[in-house]
């Protein structure tokens, strides 16, 4: 999978800011050009919203934030980037002007992507010296949360650029959908446009208000579409007989005059006023910031449920979260002279009670994750478990020392008290990121052969790594609270 360290974004509007937030929070340095003096302030707000959402969305820690720089010209951005994301207004001439300036100042290998929502990539690249480097990468708002990005090559785009573009976006938690044939507005916006057109007719003809139309979507088929899309939803509607039965039963309805389809209501002042006023009545009681945060909160919860169920966009989120968790240092370079950092996260709201405090059970979750990470460090991973065995926890003792609230950061450290033969004795500390000690846990584990279900010796590679850690940790001071039983004086 191709990874990058630097990116450039031209245009810091709603879409450009979303790109910047996703890139920055994935540890990528981002250079930005936008002529607006308010751009830095608006981008900062979007990054803050993205950080707020990610704290609740991801269990694994993100890499160190990339560096954000606002530069004075497109050419400066081009010289400082491995990939350019163009997100300027939807005017072909404006976009082509950006590409011309980029090509005058960048290497021939620099990938250029456009966030256009409908212009054909062949038209975009028609005046370029190196048109093979350009592809459309059309995302969806908010870019930092929604994984879909439509990748569309033009007639002169190289397959290598398409492959590398898809790989780059996969590496930052997105779902690149390669659309293999050019068509105006691509896939998603064509579907949205048809719904939008019909909705405008319903308002224009006084059939429904903007709120009633939104209710029809969010209380009904929108919930199905979020997890199954269109065709899988209709496949279910066909029952056991599936899609063929659905089409035979409902296909004739397509010939009925139910929709206006290609007819568009005339955009009169009266229609614009009607839509705007109804929208104000529907949502005007909330500020844009409030609506954005509520949207993000709902998306986070939807995505987490889909992740738990391993379905739809949840699969992309799970793969991304897992990839963050696996980005550990090579064992040969691991500093074992001190207790190991084994877990870190921010407290999601479903970990808290009605007071906003992390619940008692979640302390054990944190220590379980710490133990799991140590297992991975010494090589007792999924492959090892499948072929040799695993460590089973046989005794646990937790001390609860302080409280932590929703959204606050925590991390754990682990010391190996004993690590020889079949036995593994661990001591964990759980700290708030402000330094406070929140809890400690002591775990005793035994290595077990999963075929015989009896105690067994670990594999040689696991023993070797464990002995290296234990030989260093046994010389460390004994942790305060070690071997304390319930009821002992604190």
Is the CB of residue 83 less than 8 Å from the CB of residue 111? yes
- Pick from 117, 116, 100, 82: which is nearest to 5 by CA? 82
- How high is the pLDDT of residue 478? 95
Q: What is the dihedral of CA 372, 376, 381, 385, to 10 degrees?
A: -60
Pinpoint the alpha helices (H) of 186-287.
Answer: 188-204, 210-216, 222-228, 231-237, 242-250, 269-283
Residue identified by tokens 């930005």 is 32
**Which pLDDT value is given to residue 327?**
64
Cα separation, 363 vs 365, whole angstroms: 5
pLDDT at site 271: 87
Spatial distance between the Cα atoms of 299 and 147, rounded to a whole number of angstroms:
11
Indicate the pTM of the whole model: 0.84
Domains of the chain are 6-186 (3.40.50.720), 189-285 (1.10.1040.10), 328-473 (3.10.129.10)
Closest C-alpha among 113, 111, 129 to residue 121: 113
Closest Cα partner for 313 from 372, 213, 226? Answer: 226
Encode the chain (490 residues) as per-residue pLDDT tens digits. Answer: 688 999 999 999 999 999 999 999 999 999 999 999 999 999 999 999 999 999 889 888 889 999 999 999 999 999 999 999 999 999 999 999 999 999 999 988 899 999 999 999 999 999 999 999 999 999 999 999 999 999 999 999 999 999 999 999 999 999 999 999 999 999 999 999 999 999 999 999 999 999 999 999 999 999 999 988 988 888 888 888 888 887 787 777 666 666 776 777 887 899 889 888 998 998 889 898 998 999 999 999 999 999 999 999 999 999 999 888 776 667 888 899 999 999 999 998 889 998 899 999 999 999 999 999 999 999 998 889 988 999 999 999 999 999 999 989 999 999 999 999 999 999 999 999 999 999 999 999 999 998 899 999 999 999 999 999 999 999 999 999 998 877 776 5
pLDDT of residue 245: 80
> What pLDDT is attached to residue 489?
66
> What SS3 class is residue 395?
strand
pLDDT score at 60: 86
């Amino acid at each position: 999978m191709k990874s990058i360290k630097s990116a450039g974004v031209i245009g810091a509007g709603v879409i450009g800011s979303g790109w910047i937030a996703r890139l920055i929070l994935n540890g990528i340095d981002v250079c930005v050009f936008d002529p607006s003096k308010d751009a830095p302030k608006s981008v900062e707000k979007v990054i803050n919203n993205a950080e707020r959402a990610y704290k609740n969305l991801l269990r694994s820690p993100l890499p160190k934030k990339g560096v954000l720089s606002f530069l004075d010209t497109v050419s400066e951005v081009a010289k400082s980037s491995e990939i350019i994301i163009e997100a300027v207004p939807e005017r072909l001439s404006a976009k082509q002007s950006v590409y011309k300036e980029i090509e005058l100042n960048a290497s021939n290998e620099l990938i250029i992507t456009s966030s256009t929502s409908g212009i054909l990539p062949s038209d975009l690249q028609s005046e370029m010296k190196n048109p093979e480097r350009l592809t459309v990468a059309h995302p969806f708002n908010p870019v930092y949360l929604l994984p879909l990005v439509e990748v569309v090559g033009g007639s002169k785009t190289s397959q290598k650029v398409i492959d590398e573009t898809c790989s780059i976006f996969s590496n930052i938690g997105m779902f690149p959908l390669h659309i293999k044939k050019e068509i105006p507005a691509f896939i998603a916006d064509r579907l949205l446009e048809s719904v939008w057109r019909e909705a405008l007719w319903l308002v224009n003809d006084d059939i429904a208000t903007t709120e009633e139309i939104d209710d029809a979507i969010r209380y009904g088929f929108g919930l199905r579409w979020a997890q199954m899309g269109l065709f899988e939803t209709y496949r279910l509607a066909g029952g056991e007989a599936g899609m063929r039965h659905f089409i035979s039963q409902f296909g004739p309805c397509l010939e009925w005059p139910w929709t206006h389809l290609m007819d568009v209501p005339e955009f009169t002042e009266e229609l614009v006023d009607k839509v705007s006023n109804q929208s104000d009545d529907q949502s005007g009681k909330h500020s844009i910031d409030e609506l954005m945060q509520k949207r993000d909160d709902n998306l986070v919860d939807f995505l987490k449920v889909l992740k738990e169920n391993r379905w739809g966009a949840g699969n992309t989120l799970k793969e991304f979260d897992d990839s963050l968790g696996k980005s550990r240092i090579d064992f040969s370079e691991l500093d074992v002279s001190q207790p190991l950092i084994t877990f870190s996260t921010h407290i999601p709201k479903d970990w808290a009670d009605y007071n906003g405090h992390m619940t008692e059970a979640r302390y054990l979750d944190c220590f379980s994750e710490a133990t799991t990470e140590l297992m991975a460090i010494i090589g007792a991973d999924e492959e090892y478990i499948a072929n040799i065995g695993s460590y089973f926890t046989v005794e646990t003792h937790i001390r609860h020392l302080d409280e932590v609230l929703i959204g606050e950061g925590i991390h754990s450290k682990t010391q190996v008290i004993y690590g020889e033969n079949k036995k593994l004795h661990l001591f964990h500390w759980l700290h708030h990121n402000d330094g406070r000690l929140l809890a400690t846990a002591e775990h005793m584990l035994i290595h077990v052969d999963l075929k015989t279900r009896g105690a067994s010796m670990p594999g040689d590679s696991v023993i070797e790594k464990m002995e290296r850690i234990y030989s260093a940790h046994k010389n460390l001071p004994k942790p305060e609270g070690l071997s304390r039983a319930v009821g002992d004086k604190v």
